[in-house]
Structure 1
């Protein structure tokens, strides 16, 4: 059977699973973003056991996938023809439907509250943010691995998402012709601007922005970096999609974040939304964005640093060929 088609029995199972009001509302939300049970209970205003039961039925029908992470569990729509039926159905429902519109508004409110929580944390920690990275293997080792991953060849335009104090703009200042750092925290940007001025980096600038909706031209950067940012986000896949959109054909995406861990205190003490990312999960996201993973590096603490976290670097390349560009740009060598 063609993998893009469904058997009659599978189609009927899918329709039965979707054919209930709460489950249809859940599918509509999951078509936009991943959710936890806690998120869903707040949005749908139903009990946790009821929401969990409906999510279990959707998972059994192959419509959604379940990803445990510490004491939390994230749910997202599955890939393939089975979940495509659900996506198509949701797309055909009127945006004016009062029930689904109410769900979306409550979802937006939850996202806003989480974003404000993270922003408040960043504002309070802006001046000491770099020191807090001592939770993992030494920053010197991480930076050395990042430099090695990108190599010696210079490149034209560099974009640093979640730039924080602007450290990566400094680290790669001998490689790029121009650079832009984007961050959601005005306090962080104030620190970054002061650092750039102190270093005399006139070919780099920072800008306030939303990592989920980048105000940059598409296909405009040779290298995009996301350094220790994804674990603060509710929807990392969405941020990766925006990063990929900013890449020129043949451009590279450098991601640095924690490997999976179980330090639950980081959620409350440091506003972490995710407890790290596994190789398979990241590979699936990048493949879905038509990015080829070129290298994966795990920086594991030594025996004398057993309490620290492993940091993983992923280097991926946009698989579009450079000749997709206009002739004048196609002749430029991409790093």
Structure 2
């Protein structure tokens, strides 16, 4: 038996067990932490961890520690990804067990959304103050301006615009601007800031970063500023942002490098504790963008958070 054939057999053997098949179906929806899988599957952590170990060894899922949590996602490329796609396409969506899993995952997502909404509502008025605890915003914003370039930009889109700081920073270089956010409280604060900045051609809209409903290739500058670490599926958000980038346009992502400050998860609703160079570059490439720069801005004492600024472009051809 060839090595490739053995890998296929191992993968089929790993997938060919009811609980592991349920796990693959769930991970097809989004990346999940071990404890979230335990809740959905209603099984113990040791048991779920054993199943995940077998799936990882067979090359069907990727395991990545994130502080005190461990997340899993389906592999996205190669023979294993094709095999998973084929297997999952054969499942009956009306199956009672899979339907129950789907309902439980929806409940977990709803709890996350409720917690996030409550957090943002509590902190909307002092959001910029909270952000300033992490790293010098002046230094970060200077680098963002450099990454964006002088403009003028025909269309700026800020996804997860929060208090509107990216709009007021980059809006003066843009002919038109649009900010999307799910939090009405944040949008209210942003409207005040945008009005104070005199940005007459800036629209603020209630919208979801996973489904912006914006036209393809409609913006020559898209920004995701300190948003991804709150999201259940950051790769999907990167893909949606990239879809909006016009040929020759640019996407700027600002977030944290990997860290171990668990209090940000516990007190500030962070889901992910930063992102590696490898995963961000891969997500951008999968979305059809080429990473052109990745800058790191460590905290002043070198012991806290490092802010990363990734710049990616879509070919003009």
Shorter-chain TM range is over 0.9
Out of 6, 18, 21, the position equivalent to 1:21 is 18
Give TM-score, length-normalised by structure 1. Answer: 0.91
Deviation at 1:135, TM superposition (A): 2.8
- Does residue 312 in structure 1 map to residue 308 in structure 2? yes
- What secondary structure sits across from 1:268 in the alignment? helix
- Does residue 283 in structure 1 map to residue 281 in structure 2? yes
Deviation readout 1:191-237 (Å, 9 max, x if unpaired): 11111222221100111111111121121111110000001111100
Kept after mapping to 2: 8 A contact 1:220/1:246: yes
Kept after mapping to 1: 8 A contact 2:172/2:199: no
**Alignment CA distance shift 1:32-1:195 (3 Å):** same
- What secondary structure sits across from 1:113 in the alignment? helix
In structure 1, the partner of 2:74 is: 77
In structure 1, the partner of 2:166 is: 168
- Does residue 59 in structure 1 map to residue 48 in structure 2? no
Kept after mapping to 2: 8 A contact 1:70/1:275: yes
* Aligned counterparts of 1:249 and 1:96: Cα–Cα separation in 2: 41
Deviation at 1:307, TM superposition (A): 4.1
- What secondary structure sits across from 1:298 in the alignment? strand
* Aligned counterparts of 1:318 and 1:74: Cα–Cα separation in 2: 30
Deviation at 1:163, TM superposition (A): 0.4
- Does residue 33 in structure 1 map to residue 34 in structure 2? no
Deviation at 1:113, TM superposition (A): 1.0
Kept after mapping to 2: 8 A contact 1:135/1:308: no
Kept after mapping to 2: 8 A contact 1:27/1:77: yes
* Aligned counterparts of 2:251 and 2:43: Cα–Cα separation in 1: 40
Unaligned runs of 5+ in 1: 323-335
* Aligned counterparts of 1:198 and 1:150: Cα–Cα separation in 2: 23
Deviation readout 1:125-148 (Å, 9 max, x if unpaired): 000000111232200000000001
Kept after mapping to 1: 8 A contact 2:177/2:203: yes
Kept after mapping to 2: 8 A contact 1:135/1:309: no
- What secondary structure sits across from 2:39 in the alignment? helix
**Alignment CA distance shift 1:162-1:6 (3 Å):** farther
Deviation at 1:80, TM superposition (A): 1.4
Q: How does 1:1-335 map to 2 (within 5 A)?
A: 7-78=4-75, 79-302=77-300, 305-319=301-315, 321-322=316-317
* Aligned counterparts of 2:180 and 2:28: Cα–Cα separation in 1: 27
**Alignment CA distance shift 1:11-1:298 (3 Å):** same
State how many pairs are aligned: 315
Kept after mapping to 2: 8 A contact 1:6/1:82: no
* Aligned counterparts of 2:275 and 2:155: Cα–Cα separation in 1: 27
CA RMSD of aligned residues (A): 1.3
* Aligned counterparts of 1:223 and 1:199: Cα–Cα separation in 2: 19
Deviation at 1:187, TM superposition (A): 0.3
